[in-house]
Amino acid sequence: MTNNKPKVEGRSDEAEGPDGGWGWVLVGALFVSTSLVFGLMRSLGIFFVEFVQYFEESAQAISWISSTGLAAQQFFSPLGAALCNAYDARVVVMTGGVLAGLGLILASQATCLVHLYLTMGLISGLGWGLIFTPMVATVMAHFTRRRTLVLGLGFSSIGLSSFAFNPLFQLLVEMYAWRGALLILGGLSLNIVACGALIHPQRHSKAPAKVDSASRSSCASVLNRVSSYLELSLLLERPYITYTLAVTLLNVGYFVPYFHLVAHSRQAGFSEYQAAFVMSAAGVTDIFGRVVSGWFSDLRHFRLIHLLTMWTTLAGVFIMLLPVSSLSGSYTALIGISLLYGFCSGALTSLVFAVVPKIVGVERMMGGLGLLQLIESGAGLLGTPMSGLLKDITGNYIASFMVAGSFVILSTLTMATLPHYFSCTDPLPLQRRSLDDKDEGLHSELKLMNSVSSDKNHKGVNDLTDEVTKYPQDCVG
């Protein structure tokens, strides 16, 4: 019973992707690019302590560096999606790789926090925004039945890079200081350019059809074209708005451990390498969580939204348990909770994106992912500075992790308000109708109304003729 509607949707999706082929090469490109975006972003906690000591600023002020980068990545995602719809995903991703590397290289020469906000935050964030959404949407378009699994495989690099990058970055900082380490990371990020080059050039047969060719030069048609590239009509649909709100709340607390768990571990009395290994341990289980979640989700025993709710709830609970586990000074307890948190946080990641085509359809997936990233960017900008502010007020990170976990759990309650959430089958997504389709529908309705009215008129005349034939004397009088 649970497979009826997913199969119906799958038949329409199969026309979009062949479930493999060159798509597996793109999965490899996604694997590398995500490790150099989110894997690197997760490991910036190593630089957190260095920046606090070098610039002699508060934890809240330093937190704005990572938050600006995360918010910029999500804020510029619709721009990346629109450029892909209008032009070519290959060029967009390659440009993003250049900007991501350039921002980190320039950050190595920073002399104040404003320089880091502009380089690591704005320039690299812009590059990350041009990379992530186009890569994810391109891979999802090449797969149908294994969509969640391939996303889990592609995103598993985030956990793997988190495991490898934390001790590596610590070693680079000790050998070359934070400036030399950032310069090396900028060079590594340029490898994303090669990943983008693996994307096949796209034909944009759908884009010109969205705008009437006779009125392309008018301002209204230009706005209409921009709106269609950005898929702004999704903002009027309740399922998409509800889901976006849920993901936004999730985003407030999701990244807090990745930026502050290392600093919390060092404050709890553990050494630098012990603190770095906490995130590395979470990165290992993060890998297994992504792959296992993708494999189990594609079995279709349960709806994706229900599995996402389960993993999100568990992740929120373990975030709140992270500072509690270290109160007694037990490193084993902290590692154990970190392992569980890493598994759950990895398990939910691929599901967040796999649910989007279930809500908006494959045709609007690129724009849906871009708008989702844009709206949740405000939460990414708020999360870690709020956590740093709570640390400055209380003197420790306990309140920071408690509040972060509460936001994650609140997102699960928001997901429960989705239409048909308690149904065992997925509802069919709303399909976009072009202006031509609407005009054709209107013309067909008018023709139907005219035909009905003409039939009634003919019927009325025929009835009157029959009456005259039957009773001519009444009509003469």
The number of CA neighbours under 13 Å toward the Cβ of 36 is: 33
The predicted-structure confidence for 89-133, as pLDDT tens digits, reads as follows 899 999 999 999 999 999 999 888 899 999 998 999 999 989 988
Query: Helices (H), strands (E): how many in the chain?
Result: 22, 0
Residue found under tokens 């992912």: 369
Residue found under tokens 């392309």: 216
Query: Among residues 353, 351, 285, 288, which one has the least CA distance to residue 318?
Result: 285
> Residue 224's CB: how many other CB atoms inside 10 A?
17
Q: Which CATH number does the domain 20-201 belong to among 1.10.1060.10, 3.40.50.620, 1.10.10.10, 1.20.1250.20? A: 1.20.1250.20
Contact 302, 356 (CB under 8 A): no
- Please report, rounded to a whole number, the percentage of residues in the chain having pLDDT higher than 90: 27
Averaged pLDDT score across all residues of the chain: 79
Higher-confidence position of 193 and 226: 193
The number of CA neighbours under 13 Å toward the Cβ of 448 is: 6
- Looking at residue 47, its pLDDT comes to 86
Phi first, then psi, for residue 434 (nearest 5°) are: -75, 170
Structure tokens at 125: 């964030």
> Residue 274's CB: how many other CB atoms inside 10 A?
16
* Cα dihedral sign, 331-333-335-338: negative
The number of CA neighbours under 13 Å toward the Cβ of 13 is: 24
473 — pLDDT class (breaks 50, 70, 90): very low
**pLDDT at residue 457 above 90?**
no
What CA–CA distance (Å, rounded) separates 211 from 155? 36
Identical fold, 20-201 and 230-429? yes
The predicted-structure confidence for 234-273, as pLDDT tens digits, reads as follows 888 899 999 999 999 998 888 888 778 888 888 888 887 8
Please determine, looking at this structure, whether the domain spanning 230-429 carries the CATH number 1.10.760.10: no
* Cα dihedral sign, 115-118-120-123: negative
Largest CA distance in the chain: 116
What CA–CA distance (Å, rounded) separates 234 from 429? 11
Segments making up each domain of the chain, as ranges: 20-201, 230-429
**Dihedral through CA 184, CA 190, CA 194, CA 200, nearest 10?**
150
Contact 288, 395 (CB under 8 A): no
Residue found under tokens 């992707």: 17
- Global confidence as pTM: 0.69
